Amino acid sequence: MKGLVLFLMFTASANAFSFKTTEEGEQIKWQQPIVDYYINIEPDSNLNEDDYIEAVQGSFEEWNSVPDNPLYLNYSGLTRDHGTDYTDKNIIFFNRGEWPENLEPNLMASTFVWNNDEGEILAFDIILNNSFKWGTNGEPYTQDLQNALTHEIGHVLGLGHSEEDTATMFGTSYTGEKSKRTLDEDDIQGISYLYSGLTPGYYQGGSCSILNGTKSYNFAILSLIIIITLTRRKRND
């Protein structure tokens, strides 16, 4: 059964988070308490391997640190698997060779999320664009890996883009930025609402758009445009 992913936006004076729903209006989120993830150990990038692994783990731990988030994102080790097919491994990896033709070339990273008709997230993959110069310490003229991945993991959890420009889930980034490494109050309110039902007086309205900034780069939420199926596909080797 195919499912169309929709957006709902919550807005208030200091909060602008959004989340994804199925066509029937079910919120898209994980139901299991622990989600395992793996890091591909063959990064086709300019990064030192140890710095790469530390940055990935730090991004997941930032979301694990939210007190009202009952979901735990568990590092399960290294893998040589890669690709954006639906498998039993959730993988973070750099693309091999050229960036996929079906993705915009100015995207730093893209997150693929698979869910069923009831809105339960089943799997994810994050692909990082190796055509960018990446860094792990906010070096000038580089894209900070932990900054980008902390944003992408918000999509893994079911959040969309935020209209709050100080939020981790704001849809653009610039070279050397590190502020998205640390969750903004808007991000914390969004994930707390989604997983714990804490509702600090928001109203529903509007729609979400991805904002573009000067000399900035966009993030993508591929689960908004891919067709969601429950058919298990062959893993890339």
Give the domain CATH number at 191. 3.40.390.10
Residue 231 is predicted with a pLDDT of: 30
Structure token digits, residue 91: 């993988």
In a domain, 233, yes or no: no
Residue pLDDT, tens place only, 113-126: 999 989 999 999 99
Residue 224 is predicted with a pLDDT of: 36
Q: Measured between alpha carbons, how far is 64 from 24 in angstroms, rounded to an integer?
A: 29
Residue 44 is predicted with a pLDDT of: 67
Residue pLDDT, tens place only, 56-81: 999 999 999 998 789 999 999 999 99
Reported as a pLDDT band with limits 50, 70 and 90, residue 179 is very high
Domain count, the chain: 1
Q: Mean pLDDT for the chain?
A: 79
Global pTM reads: 0.80
Residue 126 is predicted with a pLDDT of: 96
Residue pLDDT, tens place only, 32-57: 999 999 999 876 677 889 999 999 99
In a domain, 74, yes or no: yes
Q: Measured between alpha carbons, how far is 87 from 220 in angstroms, rounded to an integer?
A: 21
Q: How many Cα atoms within 13 Å fall on the side-chain side of residue 90? A: 22
Residue 208 is predicted with a pLDDT of: 28
Q: Measured between alpha carbons, how far is 84 from 72 in angstroms, rounded to an integer?
A: 22
Q: What is the domain extent for residue 135?
A: 6-224
pLDDT > 70? residue 211? no
Mean local confidence (pLDDT), 5-31 = 66
Lowest mean pLDDT among 5-14, 101-110, 218-227: 5-14
Q: 107 pairs with which residues across the strands? A: 218
In a domain, 178, yes or no: yes
pLDDT > 60? residue 2? no
pLDDT > 60? residue 223? no
